[in-house]
Structure 1
Amino acid sequence: MLDNMLDNYDKRTVGDLWRQLFNLDHLTQPTPFTSRFSNYLIVTISILIIILDALLVFLEDYIFVANIGALIGVIVTLLLTIVVMFCLSLQPKIPESQNFEVPWIPTVPFLSVFVNVYLMFKLTSQTWIRFGVWMAIGLSIYIFYGIRNSNERKKSLIKSLDSRLSVSSGSGVSNGYTNNNNNNVVTTVVPT
């Protein structure tokens, strides 16, 4: 089952997965397998961060009174997160480009996810209700007005009409639509 989950083309053993987890083969160029493996590590880190934030928020009182069970749960989750982040940092990367990149990958991105998820857990239920109502209003405006009146939709309609109506007539004059992209003026040419 693990073989099919990670790669349909190559058969991988558990030993191969462990070797790739710590990149014991010292691969420097990504492959489809290492790319997919890195994606699974990213999902794992994300889930661990959500669990860690939930523990920190919901067990806050127990942590402050030094409840051993709460502390062990937080420490184990934190250590697992750090180990998986370390394993992700060992995976082969695409060679550096000239474009801007976030420094200290993957630490800074996951730190920002950690802080934001923690703050989201601290929001009250009233705030989430307000958020849901405004999201529903915004999405309904987008669905019922924005999609129908978008410039991209108008362009695609003009292209489809243009392709349907630009049938050449026998006199050499185009019978159909021509499109002026500057101000979306459409004119019809009638053959003589």
Structure 2
Amino acid sequence: MSQTSSSTSVEQLLDRITAGTERLLQEAAPDGSDETRATIAELLDVVEEVDDLLETIDFERLPDAVDVSALPDLVGRDGFANAVREREPDLALDLSTIRDVIELRGLWNTVDIADFLRELRQLETELEDVVGPGYAGRKPVSNNPTAVSSVPYGPLPASVSTRVSTVPTNVRHAKVDALPRIYSRRWTTAGRSK
């Protein structure tokens, strides 16, 4: 793949995403509710911010940051047969040596860091408009392996919180099996089975 074709395909993909989102906005505007139109407009803002973020990367020079001669070392020959059998290409890849493939100085030179950080902050602001403030995703908030909530983020119906256990079913590095957790409506079904 040539450098120009990769930058052209990325630009074409971004143009298609932006055009598709704008078309969706125009099609939903006449017959959609105000809430739907507002959500689509916010999503369009997110797409535009992603476009601005990707414009800070020089995709024409990005392939120069990869040492093509070291790429074959990423494929583990011993795991290749298992990867084909399981139809899982990740089994054949050995990403522990990826630093040998990527030339960090060349990678840094393809990104305008100051603009990238500014656009990243703007993207985070737009995403916060869509999903709400304080959106943390499924990130642990401490070194405690049980600190990650299993409750999905985002707007939930009021009854969901009574049906979902926030305690993980198993704990990493625990030497005993976790006890079953029963919440809300499940108390009645658990009581009937005894």
Instruction: Give the TM-score taking structure 1 as reference length.
Output: 0.25
Please identify which structure carries the higher strand content.
Answer: 1
Bigger Rg, which one:
1
